[in-house]
Amino acid sequence: MDVLYHALTGIAISKSMGGTDPALAAAAAVLPDIVGTIPFYYYKIQQARQSPPAAFVPSLFALLTSSKFANATDAASYHITHSLFTALGLTILAYFIFPNSWHILSLCYISHILIDIPTHDGEFATRMFYPWNTRFQYGKNWAKSWRMSLAFWLYLGSYYLLIS
Ligand SMILES: [Zn+2]
């Protein structure tokens, strides 16, 4: 799902678990995308810069919406941050850095991975045991399935009604 959805999921998790820092929970929930897609955006900008200046913006748009990685580096970066092994490592780190909220932050991060499993397909399909096991199930691309996006937003909206 999109970054806003993940952020609001993190805030909902924090709120329902008695968390006191919803902004930090939102940050933990969007971390897989924010960190994992830095190389993706870098390489796409580099590729678009090879176009004539007038074609930069259309070229960049086409590259960003292609649902294709530029190379193995940006693919690995994305899949590493969407791996439960990374979530485990960050949970251990959070235990020492945030002793009072590590469990909330960990759940926010894991929620991102679990939500991305049914909502991504193709190269962006979630490989939750990356890099040891790259098997994955194809989900559906949320950006191309308004029914799926609507269902997820209705679920989250209903959850907010329950916890408010
Ligand atoms: Zn993601």
Measured in angstroms, how far is the CA atom of residue 81 from the centroid of ligand 1?
8
Q: What is the pLDDT of residues 10-28, one digit of tens each?
A: 999 999 999 999 999 999 9
Would you state the pLDDT for residue 138?
75
- Closest listed residue to residue 110, CA positions, set 92, 88, 78: 88
Distance of CA 41 to the CA centre of its chain: 14
Instruction: For residue 163, give both structure tokens.
Output: 């916890």
Q: What is the pLDDT of residues 86-124, one digit of tens each?
A: 999 999 999 999 999 999 999 999 999 999 999 999 899
Q: What is the pLDDT of residues 114-164, one digit of tens each?
A: 999 999 998 999 999 999 988 776 788 998 999 999 999 999 999 999 998
Measured in angstroms, how far is the CA atom of residue 82 from the centroid of ligand 1?
6
Residue matched to tokens 């399909």: 125
Q: What's the predicted TM-score (pTM) here? A: 0.92
| Ligand 1 (single-atom ion) residues, CB below 5 Å | 32-33, 116
Give the whole-angstrom CA distance, residue 123 versus residue 127: 10
Measured in angstroms, how far is the CA atom of residue 112 from the centroid of ligand 1?
6
Measured in angstroms, how far is the CA atom of residue 28 from the centroid of ligand 1?
12
Instruction: For residue 70, give both structure tokens.
Output: 């530029």
Would you state the pLDDT for residue 139?
87
Instruction: For residue 156, give both structure tokens.
Output: 């989250």
Measured in angstroms, how far is the CA atom of residue 115 from the centroid of ligand 1?
8
Give the whole-angstrom CA distance, residue 102 versus residue 104: 5
How many Cα atoms are found within 13 Å in the side-chain-facing hemisphere of 151? 10
Beta-carbon neighbour count of residue 115 at 10 Å?
Answer: 20
Measured in angstroms, how far is the CA atom of residue 149 from the centroid of ligand 1?
14
